[in-house]
């Protein structure tokens, strides 16, 4: 099971990093679709969301604070669902399922969290 969690962490984090690279490359086309909550400028929202997603993806890949990172990412997806019309659909629902799995499983044995807090768990 730990190998499966490692694979899912690496796959999820890398996919989110590639997703963010695509967002940055298509900045001019997608900036108009970003909301302006609390009257915040859409470019500022774009920068905040992109930096947060990239940071959380790196944390998931490394296995640091996986549960908290996945929780923040899933809350972001839930906000997209609540916002509506912001592109929330089937892919986001699949991402939500992946993040819920990571919230439940944590980083697994092959994560920096496991190395930082050793337990009585057998390999």
User: Higher pLDDT residue, 41 or 82?
Assistant: 41
Q: Please check whether residue 80 lies inside any domain of the structure.
A: yes
Q: Per the structure block, which two tokens stand in for 51?
A: 């930096």
Q: Please check whether residue 122 lies inside any domain of the structure.
A: no
Confidence at residue 103, expressed as pLDDT on a 0 to 100 scale: 97
Averaged pLDDT, 38-42: 82
pLDDT at residue 2 tops 60? yes
Cα separation, 120 vs 19, in Å, equals: 37
What are the pLDDT digits (tens) for 100-112?
999 999 999 999 9
Range of the domain at 96: 2-116
What are the pLDDT digits (tens) for 69-113?
999 999 998 888 877 655 667 888 899 999 999 999 999 999 998
85, 44 Cβ separation under 8 angstroms: no
Q: Please check whether residue 92 lies inside any domain of the structure.
A: yes
Q: Please check whether residue 24 lies inside any domain of the structure.
A: yes
Domains: count for the chain: 1
* pTM score of the predicted model: 0.86
């Amino acid at each position: 099971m730990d190998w499966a969690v490692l694979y899912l962490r690496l796959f999820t984090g890398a996919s989110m990093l590639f997703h963010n690279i695509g967002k940055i490359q298509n900045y001019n086309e997608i900036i108009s679709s970003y909301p302006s909550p609390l009257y915040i400028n859409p470019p500022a929202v774009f920068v905040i969301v992109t930096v947060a997603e990239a940071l959380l993806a790196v944390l998931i890949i490394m296995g640091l604070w996986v549960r908290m990172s996945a929780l923040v990412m899933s809350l972001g997806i839930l906000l997209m669902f609540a916002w509506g019309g912001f592109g929330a659909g089937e892919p986001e629902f699949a991402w939500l399922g992946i993040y819920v799995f990571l919230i439940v499983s944590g980083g697994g044995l092959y994560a920096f969290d496991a190395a930082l807090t050793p337990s009585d768990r057998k390999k």
